[in-house]
Copies of this chain bind each other. A is one copy, B any other.
Amino acid sequence: MNLDNFFTPKSVAVIGASHTPGKVGHSIVKDFLKAKFQGKIFPVNPDTTPILGLETYASVKDIPERIDLAVIAVPAKVVEKVLKECISKKINSAIIITSGFSETGKEGKKLEEKLKKIIRKKIRVIGPNCLGIFDSFSKVDTLFLSEERMKRPDKGNIAFISQSGAVGSTILDWLHEENIGISKFISYGNGIDVNEVDLITYLAKDEKTRVIAVYLEGIKSDGRKFFESLKRCCKIKPIIILKAGKSEKGTKAVISHTGSLAGSSEVFSAVFKQTGAIEAANWEEFFDYIKVFSTQPFPRGERLAIVTDGGGFGVLATDEAERQGLVLKEPSKNLRKILEKQLPPYVILHNPFDLSGDATAERYRIVMEECLRREYDGAIAIVLFQVPTLDEKVVDIIPEIAKKYQKPVVVCSTGGKFTLKNVGRLESNGIPVYPTPERAVKAFSLLLKYKKQTFFKK
């Protein structure tokens, strides 16, 4: 059974749909309507008064049409009965939002075991104890968190998998803030059926997904299968993983949190290394890597040019480049000659290129264009928008040059309102922006390292 019905169902039953605003079963119906989901929605509730104007059914069995996906948000004790009804209705995909299972202790664990027995290849289940799915294309949205508190990202090419709903929701909210789109988001909670292996395998084949990002506490799947599916899928597209629970105490915290065993951190790191998955060391790297992988092409070679209007930032970037093992090649005599002709004499034609404190957008254009056209494989522009002479046009120039030469370009900018406005425009045009020179360099260097790995087939 494949997972298509989770992401592109034509008809959805929301079992436990509620008449009461604020309740989970109400929010889910509302989210589907608000997101302009193109399929049909069938609320299910013993009280068959219409919910949000939709005809409501007492049981899923009463719905007179075929149902592709059931979203279950009834109390834990009723889930078993509802799931059986779904199976008898020949629904092959269900998301169980409801919590109160193995994560709460012994009693919950028993309930969960019962569900597992019912499932036995008759239906595919995501959850329980999860947020479910957000698909930016089909508009499946079971997240039940209000738009006011948690914005949904636009369409994009990142698929995001998270056991934890809370972690997942903050990431979605942040992605929206940073103008980064996603293809699919899946929070699979206790993962009693569909697990990380199923999802990674599915997303590796998904045409809308270019990068798979995974927040992992422990694995629900068999270790060997996990290893093999990762190895297979890493050959198809980049998989970025943040593994939480790496410390001894952190492992214990994972057990309290999702009831799953975190496993030894060394084992996980070894698995990621051997399979070619990209391991983020922390939350920030996770963000930073997602951003650069989802927007930039891989560099063809190692020659990176750093261009800045703030000499000090050039120095910090150079320090980080050395830490990351990048060699900043100096411009050739020929390139220097070409640049000298077009620039004032005090512009520093070393790498990093220092355009000086009276830099203009045009100076950025000249240096970045000549560098990328002639002898560099990528560029980092460290733009200080505080510089009075710098025309805002620079935010159009940079993406244009990046596109023209199909080479990776990363920007660093730090500052207040004026800077943030320009950062937003750069990001909307597909250029990842980082607030520190070191993070920009690190993101670029990761692209290069990934490219150089042997398992990567271009």
Residues on A close to B: CB < 8 A? 22, 99, 104, 144-146, 148-151, 162-167, 169-171, 173-174, 176-177, 215, 217, 242, 244-250, 252-254, 256-258, 282-284, 309-316, 318-323, 328, 346, 348, 350, 352, 354, 357, 384-388, 414-420, 435-439
Shortest beta-carbon distance from A255 to chain B in Å: 10
State whether B386 touches A150 (Cβ < 8 A). Answer: yes
> What is the CA–CA distance of A171 and B312 in the complex, to the nearest angstrom?
12
Instruction: Tell me whether A322 and B248 are in contact in the complex, defined as CB-CB below 8 angstroms, given that A169-B384, A416-B173 are known contacts.
Output: yes
State whether B164 touches A310 (Cβ < 8 A). Answer: yes
Copies in the complex: 2
> What is the CA–CA distance of A166 and B413 in the complex, to the nearest angstrom?
12
State whether B245 touches A384 (Cβ < 8 A). Answer: no
State whether A283 touches B316 (Cβ < 8 A). Answer: yes
Task: List chain B residues, Cβ under 8 A from A283.
Answer: 316, 414, 436-438
> What is the CA–CA distance of A315 and B215 in the complex, to the nearest angstrom?
12
State whether B173 touches A245 (Cβ < 8 A). Answer: no
State whether B415 touches A150 (Cβ < 8 A). Answer: yes
Shortest beta-carbon distance from A313 to chain B in Å: 7
Task: List chain B residues, Cβ under 8 A from A174.
Answer: 414-416
State whether A151 touches B417 (Cβ < 8 A). Answer: yes
Chain B residue nearest in CB terms to A104: B346
State whether B313 touches A167 (Cβ < 8 A). Answer: yes
State whether A170 touches B215 (Cβ < 8 A). Answer: no
State whether B318 touches A250 (Cβ < 8 A). Answer: yes
> What is the CA–CA distance of A157 and B335 in the complex, to the nearest angstrom?
48
State whether B416 touches A177 (Cβ < 8 A). Answer: yes
